[in-house]
Structure 1
Amino acid sequence: MILPIVAYGDPVLRKVGVEIDKNYPELPKLIANMWETMENAHGVGLAAPQIGKSIRLFVIDATPFAEDEENTPEEKEVLSNFRKVFINPKIVKEEGDEWPFEEGCLSIPEVREDVYRQETVHITYQNENFESKKEILTGLAARVFQHEYDHIEGVLFTDKISSLKKRLIKRKLENISKGKIGADYRMRYFNAKRK
């Protein structure tokens, strides 16, 4: 089932998610709904807070990035298989130089800005079967993970841009929170005027 994506301005996007266990109610159904919702919106990642749930869960499908001409053969290989469920993830270590990349977010449609992130992350998480995993991610895989991880920490990519850029997009963000935008997928607006 395609769920509405929570828009910028909703307090749920600012909450730190809580860990879950395998007894979380209807978890397989929730994960399936998250995949369907993300794909319908043409996203590469979706975190549980973006569908109104303050839990430590997100899904990533970075395969659309695999065909980017700037990727090395190794990066293409990693990205072409990077479709995963992350439950209770932790960033153990971030390293490498910070590099800019234009990011967007399904909760903040029509806004894209360069965000600086470190190039490598060491992570732990559980998959959808609650098997514990350890990985080292680099490049775009690391970036998409960091972006979704921020969501379960109550952080948005707009928090990581300069104060000047924030001032320049302030009106856009206010309009998003009021539902004054034209997203081509279902959204839920916290500050929209009730009719």
Structure 2
Amino acid sequence: MGSPNEMVYIVDDDSTVCDALSSLLRANGKNVRLFSSGAEFLSFERGDVGACLILDLRMPGMDGLEVQKLVSNQASIPVIFVTGQGNVPSTVRAMKGGAVDFLTKPIDEAVLLAAVEHALEKDRIARCEALQQADLLARYHLLTPREREVLPLLVSGLLNKQAAWELGITEYTVQIHRGNIMRKMKADSFARLVKLAGKLKS
């Protein structure tokens, strides 16, 4: 069943296709919202919900590839392309743009449902990682300017006395900073601190 906090957006100028896809997805517990053009979708203010986007490749005005590019500039959302006239260059461009899947009409129901579930799972993982990264940055911002100087020296492998020499402070002061850093970063081991510091760079 679909989560109340997840939405499947469908953008297709063919109302028959929209209705068929939405009926299938709703019958399988998904929340669905329909749009008849890329411009309509782009002007819609999406809430902070997990989502994926089923996007028609060929539409009057703005085509699917243009919509994909503009959407990726705004925020991350997994895209599934559907088309009645797929071609290799379009497929390559779509996939390079980060599309999760590229389906040709008429669409196999099982394939579509699997693609949607895969896209939503990809979005769940991305949102979870974004929350973890935001939490990590919040912890890092608790460090004092001096602690932020000490951190990279320690995780690079320097001993306390070597880090102290680099910064022109005493080894005891480095030990104090190290303890504060471990506590503020919620690192229960030095190996964990090294791992967290690596994530700050990524």
**Interval containing the TM-score (normalised by the shorter chain):** under 0.3
Bigger RCO (CA 8 Å, 6+ sep): 1
Q: TM-score, normalised by structure 1?
A: 0.23
Bigger proportion of residues as helix:
2
Bigger proportion of residues as strand:
1
Q: TM-score, normalised by structure 2?
A: 0.22
